[in-house]
């Protein structure tokens, strides 16, 4: 199927999001803008993800050629607390130990912006980790790439393959972009 969408800007340096859009057959170009990802206190986790995603989109206030800008923000939530990207190996180990034997939620908010139209949505996936050992955690930190990921893991990497028992919700949402919903929303947005 040929690309049916107007020109698209993906405002994300995530190689996983870029790969997912490519696999969807969507033509896009990547444009990055630095955005402060802080948020006001008192927001729920879905509101936080939406707030940051919309903040990223609003950085594109001088759009040209009627392009659609896609921004996204993914957060990992366990027991009401947000697990961000790890700061170092020890922090990654702490995060993965917290996830071990537990269920957590991955929330990805996506924002579409075209001219003065802004639309956001979010998806929630529940991820169930089996108990993992300290040796498994050390191995993943050594061979994987936990530092650039919320929750310190990639579902498509070694730790995801050996530790995730099941997912309730979208797999691609956990990767970083709920593709089924994005396609549906893009079709409605244009």
The residues assigned a catalytic role are 73
CB distance 83 to 104 below 8 Å: yes
Tell me the CA distances in angstroms from 116 to 51, 52, 60, one per residue in order.
17, 18, 10
Question: In this structure, what token pair is assigned to residue 148?
Answer: 């650039």
Reference 55, options 7, 109, 124; nearest CA is 109
What span, in angstroms and rounded, lies between the C-alpha atoms of 186 and 177? 13
What span, in angstroms and rounded, lies between the C-alpha atoms of 178 and 110? 8
């Amino acid at each position: 199927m040929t690309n049916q969408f107007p020109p698209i800007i993906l405002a994300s340096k995530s190689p996983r999001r870029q790969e997912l859009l490519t696999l969807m057959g969507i033509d896009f170009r990547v444009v990055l803008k630095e955005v402060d990802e802080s948020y006001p206190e008192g927001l729920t986790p879905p509101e936080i993800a939406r707030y940051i995603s919309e903040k990223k989109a609003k950085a594109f206030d001088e759009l040209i050629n009627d392009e659609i800008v896609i921004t996204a923000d993914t957060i990992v939530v366990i027991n009401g607390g947000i697990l961000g990207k790890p700061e170092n190996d020890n922090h990654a180990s702490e995060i993965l130990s917290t996830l071990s034997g537990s269920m957590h939620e991955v929330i990805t908010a996506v924002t579409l912006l075209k001219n003065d139209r802004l639309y956001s949505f979010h998806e929630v996936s529940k991820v169930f980790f089996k108990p993992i050992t300290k040796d498994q955690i050390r191995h993943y930190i050594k061979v994987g790439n936990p530092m650039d990921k919320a929750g310190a893991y990639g579902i498509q990497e070694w730790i995801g393959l050996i530790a995730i028992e099941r997912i309730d919700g979208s797999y691609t949402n956990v990767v970083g972009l709920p593709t089924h919903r994005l396609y549906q929303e893009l079709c409605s947005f244009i």
